[in-house]
Amino acid sequence: MLEIKNLHASVGEDEKKPILKGLDLVVPKGEVHAIMGPNGSGKSTLSYVLTGRDDYEITDGSISYDGEDLAELEADERAAKGLFLSFQYPVEIPGVPTLTFLKEALNAQRKARGEEEISAPDFMKFVREKAKVLNVSPDMLKRPLNVGFSGGEKKRLEILQAAVLEPRFLILDETDSGLDIDALKVVSDGVNSLRSPERGMLVITHYQRLLDHIAPDKVHVMSAGRIVASGGPELARELEAEGYDKYVRAA
């Protein structure tokens, strides 16, 4: 279970700007929660604060997973604890083949958890199976990570990485951005196949359309750095029809 209590966070190297202003959220295991909100409400900031990006400083409140405090951990330590962020804009890493990167990442996590490293043949077999389902070609796996990939390819690769790293908690930041209908279907099928009673998910999105494919258990509305409303899936449809205006004003 992911628990966020009274979270305050500021962003910036020198001049700190407060973005999150007392955010409370609980996502139990096995549930998919969506966070919707207008641009600038702090949705992406929340994803970076949760995963431990530098210069995103928690000034008050707490983040814990299954009761374990995450706030003091480095980004890679949080990853090893099972936190995975599917980036809105996956970063291109020239010169590092996708497969090499995935194997290094997986073994780094296993090592951090005191598990044995996976052997090269086992890893290859494991990745190939997952890649096939997500329509990721062997050629893509050989190419440098994300370099020259289309928007759809990058998002498919994000989900493939999640499938390989098997995180306990998945954060999807604007996963539908830059996707056409076909790619959206492949990506959301991939996400749905990752749903499990042991895994929670937080789906951050501006639009409702992703939620047609990934049905959330709960929907939260974020505005000015806080959750201002929560409800069932019907809340997403209401937002789509009526916009964020009343929540922005309420905040």
Partner 1 sequence: MGANFEPNNGEAIFIAMLDGSDGWRKDVRDRLVAKGLPTKRDEAWKWSDLRRAARDITKRGSTQLRAEMAPQWADLKRETGDEFSAGALAQAAAHQTAFFRHHLGGTYNIELGASVGASVASVVISLPRALEYTILEHYRAADGALAIANVDYEVGPGAKVNRVVLFDDAPQAGWVLSSNVSLAPGASFTQTSLTFGAKFLRQETRLSHPGQGATATLNGAYLVGAGGHADMTSIVNMQGEGGELDQLTKGIVHSGGRAVFQGKIHVDQAAQKTAANMTHRGMIIDDRSEIDSKPELEIYADDVECSHGNAIGTLDEMALFYMQQRGLPEADARRLLVESFLDETLSAVKDEKTRDSLSGRIAAKLKGLV
Point out which residues bind partner 1 (CB under 8 A). 51-54, 74-76, 79-80, 84-85, 87, 90-96, 101, 104-106, 108-109, 112, 144, 161, 165
Pairing of strands 17-27, 226-231: unpaired
Q: How many residues does the chain have?
A: 251
Q: How far is the CB of 18 from partner 1 (least distance, A)?
A: 21
d(CA 68, CA 49): 16
Is the Cβ–Cβ distance between 66 and 120 less than 8 Å? no
Pairing of strands 32-36, 200-205: parallel
Q: How far is the CB of 246 from partner 1 (least distance, A)?
A: 35
d(CA 33, CA 51): 17
Output 79 or 227, the one with its CB closest to partner 1: 79
Is the Cβ–Cβ distance between 50 and 85 less than 8 Å? yes
Q: How far is the CB of 108 from partner 1 (least distance, A)?
A: 5
C-alpha triplet 71, 210, 131: angle, nearest 5°: 80
Q: How far is the CB of 79 from partner 1 (least distance, A)?
A: 4
Output 111 or 185, the one with its CB closest to partner 1: 111
Q: How far is the CB of 51 from partner 1 (least distance, A)?
A: 5
- Neighbour-count burial of 245, counting CB atoms closer than 10 A to its CB (0-12 exposed, 13-18 middle, 19+ buried): exposed
Output 71 or 75, the one with its CB closest to partner 1: 75
Output 120 or 241, the one with its CB closest to partner 1: 120
Output 86 or 208, the one with its CB closest to partner 1: 86
Residues whose CB falls within 8 Å of the CB of residue 100, separated by 6 or more in sequence, listed in order:
none
Is the Cβ–Cβ distance between 10 and 19 less than 8 Å? yes
Output 166 or 240, the one with its CB closest to partner 1: 166
Q: How far is the CB of 161 from partner 1 (least distance, A)?
A: 7
